[in-house]
Structure 1
Amino acid sequence: MSRGRSDDAVFDRPTEKCGVVGVSLADRDAALPTYYALYALQHRGQESAGIVTHDGFQQHQHVGMGLVGDAFDEDDVEALRGNAGIGHVRYPTAGSVDKSCAQPFSVSFKGGALGLSHNGNLVNADEVRARLADQGHAFTSDGDTEVIAHDLARNLLEADLVPAVERTMNRIHGSYSLTITHDDTVLGVRDPLGNRPLVLGELEDGYVLASESAAIDTFGGDLVRDVRPGELVVLHEDGAGYDSHQLVEEPNTAHCFFEYVYFARPDSVVDEELVYEVRRELGRHLWREAGVDSDVVMPVPDSGRAFASGYAEQAQDAGSGVEFAEGLMKNRYVGRTFIMPTQSARERAVRLKLNPIRSTVEGRSVTLVDDSIVRGTTSSQLVDLLREAGANEVHVRIGAPPITAPCYMGIDMATRDELIAADRSTEEIADEIGADSLSYLPLDAVTAAIGKSEADLCAGCVTGEYPFDVAGEESDRDAERPDVDAPADD
């Protein structure tokens, strides 16, 4: 797993995972709609982008490094023929940062052609890889997506499509949402605990699968529903419908609570909840739990905006005179990477991205609302910025619990040594970032705002207990898991 990348450390954020899409249409090429959908999912990964299509006779592929607009030109899209297609935007949490790990991953074998896009992270990839290597499989990358592709290809030589997918699901453990092409058939698969999101949408001439409903909106399509945990959805080749197969069932889910807090677009619906409204409700809970009667409440853009809006609304309902205002201006032309040759430049890099609006903060007490604190570097610099702009007091409020443990489910969130909350109290963190006060939102308030029980959410990064068995870590469930070496039933 790749953790603690230096460019992300500058802005002290958990890093987006990946985004997947799958499209099956009646009588037009899938490449251009898939390309547009990837733009809607760009926030989920900026390292690489790719599309695989199938025209009924052969598979076509294009992958490239960088943003969607950098990875494709018009000719690249036009060359991808066929009514069936899948796409991927990637940020690596397992595997190298090079074109060999860009997705979709494609493989041709005796049973046809496979393309596979993966959002998530397997916790037993090395084990399954070793088993497949012993059986003669040769790997071209160190990513876990290739492990899934090889296992599925092997199973397709021995079984029909649905039992082959079921075998693979019983062998791989961890988080995954997959879009797959098997020749010109498009599939969607979600892990049995539903850790990673996946939705199904209907178009006038076909169906689409995507990590978030915002991608369906780009087509002018209608959200049908979330793909259920442990479900395989098979889109019809003519775009006229889909088949559903519930292959694995678990008593509880483990939806990633950080999708609601930070990762998903606010206009997306994730597991039947509109993310924007969840974030506003988190902000309301934040006032109830730890409101401070300051002059102004402001968000850290962009993800803190809905939190701060809900916080201010609840404060005003409670009779507080706190005002909601934008106090930080974001430079949208600073990407995730830029030249930072010295340590002092890296420490001041946040000033290139965020600048205070002096009239909002000067001579006033300020409450700064954000979604999370990872390493503490950005929070410290933002508090300094606001004080330099004339703020009398700076209170920091966070719409999630303290992050005390790493994520093994597909978020690049840093190691325990880098996490500021791993070994410090809230008071010590407040002192370290220079805030007059600091409060986090407790987990029970988060679950209440999301409308799900703690048993149905993955909160390993704040509890240290994970929904899957991870070497050296505790699990919050005792479900027995099949041995990967045991043969699966057809």
Structure 2
Amino acid sequence: MTRGRDSGPEFDHPTEKCGVVGVSLEDRDAAFPTYYALYALQHRGQESAGIVTHDGFQQHQHVGMGLVGDAFEEADIEDLVGSAAIGHVRYPTAGSVDKSCAQPFSVSFKGGALGLSHNGNLVNADDLRDDLAASGHAFTSDGDTEVIAHDLARNLLDDDIVSAVETTMSRIHGSYSLTIMHDDTVLGLRDPLGNRPLVVGELEDGYVLASESAAIDTLGGELVRDVRPGELVVLHEDGSGFDSHQLVAADNTAHCFFEYVYFARPDSVIDDELVYEVRRELGRQLWAEAGVDSDVVMPVPDSGRAFASGYAEAAQDEGASVEFAEGLMKNRYVGRTFIMPTQEAREQAVRLKLNPIRSTVEGKTVTVIDDSIVRGTTSSQLVDLVREAGAEAVHVRIGAPPIEAPCYMGIDMATREELIAADRTPEEIADEIGADSLSYLSLSAITAAVGKSEADLCAGCVTGEYPYDVPGEARDRDIDHPAVDAPAHD
């Protein structure tokens, strides 16, 4: 585990997942566009970054640890020739934190060259690894991405790429959005329940797949649409278009609701909904459900800003005299992994990252808006900061329901024992973090804001009911594989 990863100022939030990219262009090299797209997805992973290209004859790869700008030198990108590419930024949810687990994962075998980037988490990776190892497959990492790659490579020995992917889909269970490169063909695959996001966009001379539409915007492209749950998208090698193959059909989806609440960039579009406007609506719903008349409404930067804006707007529409104001200034030059060897240093970390604006809070009643609370450690320190700056009262409002259970679908979340809401009421949590009051947003408000039913959202971290079977947890939903019979889940 990276130093500071478990105790920094972002510790009270679920941790980002990963970001994937796939690019197929007419005749220019795809490495630089892929690099820029990864920059746009940097918020989804900071542990490592990588790109694999194919020039029509052979595969080229570069992976490195750290942020995108640290993982690549200009010469590295120039060496990645070829008009087909896939890329990845990683935050580990399965596997070690070292270069052996950096993605894309690539392999050359009798069926050609294969590259794979994965956003998500398999719940049956260990069983699949054992099965593949028994068949002679040797593994170089402990991540689940290599398991998918080996299974797909085995299927490609006997089938075309679409059939091979279809067979692999019948064997892997959990959340995944994949960008795949088989020789110089780039593909995008989304899990049958659509838990992880994936979109396809059009460029002037090709097409791009990405975890979020903001990456397409960065390349000057146009969003075409979301890749559908259970759909395989195959980009044409000449950049002229793409083919769609609906491999799996499910009665319901299981979109991760935290994409709307926290993970996705506010300027991204998910299922035709701009994330920023969804968060503003969540803020308005938060006022309707748990509004408190205070002098100032202030966000925890940066994730609480859209919520606070909508909350204040709804309050003012009802005649409240609340003012929206920035009350915490963020130091953007403090990294996620600065060293914090002692509890005193960990408490100092919040002050390094955030500093109150005294004129905003002094002598006033304050409502602090954030997107979520995981363990509560940072929340208590934020409340202390605001009080020390002179606030007369501090109310906390959260734009998501209480997180009461772990996530097994690809979010780095605390264990049930560490979750502050697992065994405490909001009143008890308010007392623990030192707030005058604390309220969460309901799940029904989230479903209304995103325009989906609860049956079409994954809210396992809130309800404890998961879309796939997890040992000791809820059973998975039925999924119809029309062409390939899926084995029973373990």
Structure-1-length-normalised TM-score? 0.97
Q: 1:237 Cα shift?
A: 0.3
> Which position in structure 1 is the counterpart of 2:271?
271
Q: 1:151 Cα shift?
A: 0.3
Instruction: Find the residue that maps to 1:81 and give its secondary structure.
Output: coil
Within 2, Cα distance between the matches of 1:203 and 1:48? Answer: 26
C-alpha distance 10-179 of structure 1, shift in aligned 2 (>3 A): closer
Q: Which moved more, 1:187-196 or 1:340-349?
A: 340-349
Conserved 8 A contact 1:11-1:350: no
Q: 1:342 Cα shift?
A: 1.6
Once the two structures are superposed, residues 139-172 of structure 1 have per-residue CA deviations (whole angstroms, 9 ceiling, x without a partner) of 0000000000000000000111111000001100
Q: 1:479 Cα shift?
A: 5.0
> Which position in structure 2 is the counterpart of 1:371?
371
> Which position in structure 2 is the counterpart of 1:457?
457
> Which position in structure 2 is the counterpart of 1:332?
332
> Which position in structure 2 is the counterpart of 1:112?
112
> Which position in structure 2 is the counterpart of 1:232?
232
Conserved 8 A contact 2:262-2:303: yes
> Which position in structure 2 is the counterpart of 1:388?
388
Is 1:423 aligned with 2:423? yes
Q: Which runs of 5+ in 1 are unaligned?
A: none
Within 2, Cα distance between the matches of 1:182 and 1:476? Answer: 31
Which AA in structure 1 matches 2:210? Answer: A
> Which position in structure 2 is the counterpart of 1:85?
85
C-alpha distance 189-81 of structure 1, shift in aligned 2 (>3 A): same
Map 1:5-84; keep pairs closer than 5 Å: 5-8=5-8, 11-84=11-84
RMSD: 1.7
> Which position in structure 2 is the counterpart of 1:474?
474
Conserved 8 A contact 1:403-1:462: yes
Conserved 8 A contact 1:10-1:346: no
Is 1:342 aligned with 2:342? yes
Q: Which moved more, 1:475-484 or 1:205-214?
A: 475-484
Conserved 8 A contact 2:111-2:153: yes
C-alpha distance 186-408 of structure 1, shift in aligned 2 (>3 A): same
Which AA in structure 2 matches 1:216? Answer: I
> Which position in structure 1 is the counterpart of 2:360?
360
Q: 1:376 Cα shift?
A: 0.2
Within 1, Cα distance between the matches of 2:8 and 2:30? Answer: 33
Instruction: Find the residue that maps to 2:416 and give its secondary structure.
Output: coil
Instruction: Find the residue that maps to 2:420 and give its secondary structure.
Output: coil
> Which position in structure 2 is the counterpart of 1:309?
309
> Which position in structure 2 is the counterpart of 1:351?
351
Q: 1:109 Cα shift?
A: 0.4
Instruction: Find the residue that maps to 2:250 and give its secondary structure.
Output: coil
Within 2, Cα distance between the matches of 1:483 and 1:469? Answer: 14
Within 2, Cα distance between the matches of 1:8 and 1:140? Answer: 31
Map 1:118-157; keep pairs closer than 5 Å: 118-157=118-157
> Which position in structure 1 is the counterpart of 2:97?
97
> Which position in structure 1 is the counterpart of 2:289?
289
Q: 1:348 Cα shift?
A: 2.4
Structure-2-length-normalised TM-score? 0.97
Within 2, Cα distance between the matches of 1:95 and 1:178? Answer: 17
Instruction: Find the residue that maps to 1:417 and give its secondary structure.
Output: helix
Q: 1:8 Cα shift?
A: 4.9
Q: 1:484 Cα shift?
A: 4.7
Which AA in structure 1 matches 2:333? Answer: Y
Once the two structures are superposed, residues 447-470 of structure 1 have per-residue CA deviations (whole angstroms, 9 ceiling, x without a partner) of 111111000000000000000000
Conserved 8 A contact 2:9-2:353: no
Map 1:208-223; keep pairs closer than 5 Å: 208-223=208-223
Q: Which moved more, 1:368-377 or 1:335-344?
A: 335-344
Q: Which moved more, 1:344-353 or 1:222-231?
A: 344-353
Conserved 8 A contact 2:11-2:374: no
Q: 1:114 Cα shift?
A: 0.3
Map 1:439-450; keep pairs closer than 5 Å: 439-450=439-450
Is 1:195 aligned with 2:207? no
* Identity across matched positions, percent: 85
Within 2, Cα distance between the matches of 1:412 and 1:187? Answer: 27
Conserved 8 A contact 1:407-1:413: yes
Once the two structures are superposed, residues 297-331 of structure 1 have per-residue CA deviations (whole angstroms, 9 ceiling, x without a partner) of 00000010000000000001111110000000000
Once the two structures are superposed, residues 363-398 of structure 1 have per-residue CA deviations (whole angstroms, 9 ceiling, x without a partner) of 000000000000001110000000000000000000
Which AA in structure 1 matches 2:116? Answer: L
> Which position in structure 1 is the counterpart of 2:399?
399
Alignment: residue pair count: 486
C-alpha distance 317-9 of structure 1, shift in aligned 2 (>3 A): closer
C-alpha distance 406-9 of structure 1, shift in aligned 2 (>3 A): farther
Instruction: Find the residue that maps to 1:229 and give its secondary structure.
Output: coil
Instruction: Find the residue that maps to 1:334 and give its secondary structure.
Output: coil
Q: 1:11 Cα shift?
A: 3.0
Within 1, Cα distance between the matches of 2:475 and 2:414? Answer: 20
Conserved 8 A contact 2:53-2:85: yes
Q: 1:485 Cα shift?
A: 8.8
Conserved 8 A contact 1:8-1:15: no
Which AA in structure 2 matches 1:386? Answer: V
Instruction: Find the residue that maps to 1:466 and give its secondary structure.
Output: coil
Conserved 8 A contact 1:131-1:485: no
Within 2, Cα distance between the matches of 1:259 and 1:157? Answer: 37
Which AA in structure 2 matches 1:54? Answer: H
C-alpha distance 47-237 of structure 1, shift in aligned 2 (>3 A): same
Once the two structures are superposed, residues 380-419 of structure 1 have per-residue CA deviations (whole angstroms, 9 ceiling, x without a partner) of 0000000000000000000000000000000001101110
C-alpha distance 242-30 of structure 1, shift in aligned 2 (>3 A): same
Once the two structures are superposed, residues 415-451 of structure 1 have per-residue CA deviations (whole angstroms, 9 ceiling, x without a partner) of 0111000000111000000000000001101111111
Once the two structures are superposed, residues 264-298 of structure 1 have per-residue CA deviations (whole angstroms, 9 ceiling, x without a partner) of 00000112211000000000000000000000100
